[in-house]
Amino acid sequence: MGIFSIVNGVYVMAGSLLLGALGGLLGVFAVLRKQGLLGDVLSHAALPGIVLSFIFLGEKNLPILILGALVSGMISALLIDKIVASTRIKMDGAMAVVLSWFFGIGILFLSYLKRMENVSPSGINDFIFGQAAGMLQLDVVLIGTVFGLGVLHVLIKWRQIKLMIFDRNYAHVMGVNHRFNEVLLTVIFSFGIVISLQAVGVVLTAALFITPAVTALFLANSLWATVLWSVTFGMIGGVTGAYLSVMYRDVPTGASIVVVLSLIFILVVLFSKKGFLMKMLEGFRYRVRVSYENAVLSCYRMMESGDCPEMTVKKDLVKGGVLVKLVAWRALVKKKLVKFVGGQWVLSKGGLEFGRKLIKKHRLWEVYLANKLSMDAGKVHLEAEDMEHILTDEMVVRLEKMLGNPKVDPHGKQIIS
Amino acid sequence: MSILIIVFLAAISCSLLGALVFLRREAMLVDAISHAVLPGIVVAFLIVSSLSSPFFMVFAFLFAFLAVMIMKFLATRIRVSKESVIGIVFTAFFAIGVLMISRVAGNVHLDQDAVIYGSVEFAGFNRLELFGVDLGPRAIWSLGVAVLLNFGFVTLFYKELKTMIFDEKFAVSIGMPVRFLNFMILFLVTLTAVVAFEVMGSIMVLGLFALPAAGGYLLSRSLMGVLVYAVLMGLVGSLLGFWWAFAGDLSIGGAVITVLGGIFVMIWGLLRFMLWFRKG
């Protein structure tokens, strides 16, 4: 059974796609303005408005419901503002107070509604738990309109919004009417939240506006790229989640969309170029390189001082953690820095050359520290221990030139050019 | 009658702890925890298929702890505000919980409605039986334990908690067991949220934590004052709410929270009025 064999399958898919895009777009600005959880408050605070319009109308009339939700959401936002402005209670406390209070009122109204005889409250559960499967053409048009408004606002006011996010005071000085822009952005944001409730549900709507945005912020470097990524992630999450929930009838849409969005977040945070695993891998690679370079260096030094003229490389020259040692030794063999001759490992010709290059970096840096930075000759060795792994060939050439082709290091050891 | 006792116990346990959490500016963390325990509850349910097991608590706590650890980890690694990190983590946990419920709905007597609305109305029928002896509603026992634990914790560590709320770094520097206390607060918040969640629903639990604490915070500047006022407000609110719900056949949780919010707004307005009056 394909998804499009369901009567409203097209609307469900289109609506979820637009919903994801909407959340992605508005979420970026909400998260950057530290209003991520405001979405959570607004979605919970919409409940009394929804239930009240149900009570008065006695039936499900989408535009009126959304209006009710919007009004009670707005009142909650104003109340938070007032509490923060006039008491010692801070933002998070005010949010917790208003969120739970409004939701409690909503539940109270709901219990009243359930007792009324001529009203069926079945549509309300959709708002609390989310059910995209019931999406109709009207929903899609509404979501599309809000998304269009959002895109329009962002495009027209791009410069002002960017300035406002970057530095409110600066934006003010620059003559940007940030109050107007902020209010407009918040109004569109509330619209977006309210319109998502039906598909995603009260608890999980916030995720639609937070998760893709944070994922994109982790990945991208400019605001443009962030917005584009965020919208993309939102759309993928929306469509995939909605598809799963329609295919497996008993899976609520909100939950499946949010699970998909969270999976994208986890993947990006772990495996993207800036991801934690990639960072760890990078660090590991560096430790491996330091480890085998040090092994070559100590072998070279022993040869130079005549302790070990046959250049034997024992495995215990390779230092570091178990895994680092293992990989570093493999690197030595693979890069042909060592070779197996007469029953033992010795430094190859390439290894010898490599060691010479490294020792040159080390000693040049020592000279630089001692002569140019006037550091104590006794201290320079330790500093050079790190730098020998970082200096590039080009830097060596320039360093040598600047130092006037020195022949010995501060300890009197030879520098071979 | 037993329902009123259950509501009272929930109010006391939540408002005591709520005051601490509120003063530490971690009110939204309670929201996050009360949602993040959901997958734990479902897993425990799948294993023991009954709510009357300590198992249930262990799993809930494991998941809450996991969520808080992930939040802490992400907060240091990702350059977005702390609240966005909270938002990501708890919604992910809750969504997984909802998915699990929906996939196993046939076998488990646990549905979404109960998660959101709670069911204090039926808590009286859910009785604790030990060796065949009926010991009364189970919620009274579990919430009673929560009250005792929270009360014991606050009285035992009052001085430490006071110092810690005022300045955590200072508390560390004079050798107070701050890590242990943080762990205990997290543990007790989870325990209380899970026990109260069963009767109040996951969102109204937040109200029991935050509303009395906010009222107490407006009325007093000392920790003791906030604690006392919070508990008082919790009790008054739950009594009035219970009475209202009983008289009007409404949702008890909804009525209690609505009344508590009303009391908060009244305190707020009264203080504003007094300020205005004094200024002339």
Nearest to A36 among B81, B94, B272 (CB): B81
Judged by CB atoms closer than 8 Å, whether chains meet at A96 and B257 is answered as no
Q: What percent of chain A has pLDDT over 70?
A: 96
In chain B, the residue whose alpha carbon lies closest to the alpha carbon of A268 is: B78
How many whole angstroms separate alpha carbon A116 and alpha carbon A298?
87
**What backbone torsions phi and psi does residue A379 show, to the nearest 5 degrees?**
-95, -20
Per-residue pLDDT band at A115 (split at 50, 70, 90): confident
In chain A, the residue whose alpha carbon lies closest to the alpha carbon of B106 is: A250
In chain A, the residue whose alpha carbon lies closest to the alpha carbon of B79 is: A218
How many whole angstroms separate alpha carbon B147 and alpha carbon B13?
5
Mean pLDDT within A287-293: 90
Structure tokens at A387: 């730098």
Does residue B25 form part of some domain? Answer: yes
**What backbone torsions phi and psi does residue B127 show, to the nearest 5 degrees?**
-105, 155
Closest CA to A27 of A209, A228, A295: A209
Mean pLDDT within B135-154: 85
Give yes or no for residue B234 having a pLDDT over 50.
yes
Burial class (CB in 10 A: 0-12, 13-18, 19+), B184: middle
Partners of A103 on chain B (C-beta within 8 Å) are 203-204, 207, 257
Mean pLDDT within A136-145: 87
Partners of B272 on chain A (C-beta within 8 Å) are 86
Interchain CB contact of B25 with A (< 8 Å): yes
Give yes or no for residue A1 having a pLDDT over 60.
no
Highest mean pLDDT (candidates A77-81, A350-354, A369-373, B140-144): A77-81
How many whole angstroms separate alpha carbon A258 and alpha carbon A244?
12
Residue A383: its pLDDT value, please?
82
In chain A, the residue whose alpha carbon lies closest to the alpha carbon of B268 is: A87
Partners of A23 on chain B (C-beta within 8 Å) are none
Q: What percent of chain A has pLDDT over 90?
A: 31
Mean pLDDT within B196-216: 87
Mean pLDDT within A184-209: 88
Task: Tell me if residue A408 falls in helix, strand or coil.
Answer: strand
Query: For the segment A18-52, what is each residue's pLDDT rounded down to a tens digit?
Result: 999 999 999 999 999 888 889 999 999 999 999 99
The answer to which of A374-383, B128-137, B178-187, B244-253 has the lowest mean pLDDT is: B128-137
Residue A94: its pLDDT value, please?
94
Interface probe, candidates A43, A44, A52, A103, chain B, greatest B C-beta count within 10 A:
A103
Smallest CA–CA separation between B199 and chain A, in Å?
A: 14
Q: What is the DSSP string of B74-141?
A: HHHHS-S-HHHHHHHHHHHHHHHHHHHHHHSTTT-S--HHHHHH--HHHHTTSEEEETTEEEEEHHHH
Judged by CB atoms closer than 8 Å, whether chains meet at B84 and A213 is answered as yes
Query: For the segment B63-80, what is each residue's pLDDT rounded down to a tens digit?
Result: 988 998 899 889 888 888
In chain A, the residue whose alpha carbon lies closest to the alpha carbon of B118 is: A107
Smallest CA–CA separation between A62 and chain B, in Å?
A: 23
Judged by CB atoms closer than 8 Å, whether chains meet at B116 and A39 is answered as no
Total domain count, chain B: 1
What end-to-end distance do the CA atoms of chain B give, in Å?
48
The answer to which of A43-57, A334-348, B213-227 has the lowest mean pLDDT is: A334-348
Per-residue pLDDT band at B130 (split at 50, 70, 90): low
Classify domain A352-402 at the CATH class level: mainly alpha
Give yes or no for residue A54 having a pLDDT over 90.
no
How many whole angstroms separate alpha carbon A171 and alpha carbon A177?
8
Smallest CA–CA separation between A260 and chain B, in Å?
A: 9
Highest mean pLDDT (candidates A36-40, A261-265, A350-354, B56-60): A261-265
Judged by CB atoms closer than 8 Å, whether chains meet at A204 and B91 is answered as yes
Burial class (CB in 10 A: 0-12, 13-18, 19+), B162: middle
Give the ipTM: 0.90
In chain B, the residue whose alpha carbon lies closest to the alpha carbon of A279 is: B77
Give yes or no for residue A129 having a pLDDT over 90.
no
Give yes or no for residue B25 having a pLDDT over 80.
yes
Tell me which residue range forms the domain holding B70.
Answer: 2-201
Residue B135: its pLDDT value, please?
62
Residue A120: its pLDDT value, please?
62
Contact criterion met (CB below 8 Å) for B238 and B11 = yes
Residue A27: its pLDDT value, please?
94
Mean pLDDT within A169-189: 79
Partners of B202 on chain A (C-beta within 8 Å) are 203
Whole-number average pLDDT of chain A: 86
Interchain CB contact of B92 with A (< 8 Å): yes
Judged by CB atoms closer than 8 Å, whether chains meet at B31 and A96 is answered as yes
Residue A386: its pLDDT value, please?
85
Radius of gyration of chain A (CA): 32
Residue A225: its pLDDT value, please?
94
Interchain CB contact of B107 with A (< 8 Å): no
Does residue B227 form part of some domain? Answer: no
Query: For the segment B96-124, what is each residue's pLDDT rounded down to a tens digit?
Result: 988 888 877 555 555 556 666 666 665 55
Residue B115: its pLDDT value, please?
64
Judged by CB atoms closer than 8 Å, whether chains meet at B268 and A83 is answered as yes
Mean pLDDT within A376-387: 83
Please check whether the domain covering A3-274 is classified as CATH 3.40.30.10: no
Q: CATH code at B8?
A: 1.10.3470.10
How many whole angstroms separate alpha carbon A305 and alpha carbon A413?
10
Give yes or no for residue A256 having a pLDDT over 70.
yes
Domain coordinates in residue numbering, chain A: 3-274, 278-347, 352-402
Task: Tell me if residue A117 falls in helix, strand or coil.
Answer: coil
Per-residue pLDDT band at B210 (split at 50, 70, 90): very high
Structure tokens at A197: 């409730």
How many whole angstroms separate alpha carbon A173 and alpha carbon A161?
14
Does residue B62 form part of some domain? Answer: yes
The answer to which of A146-160, A177-191, B38-52, B183-197 has the lowest mean pLDDT is: B38-52
What kind and span of H or E run contains A344? strand A344-347
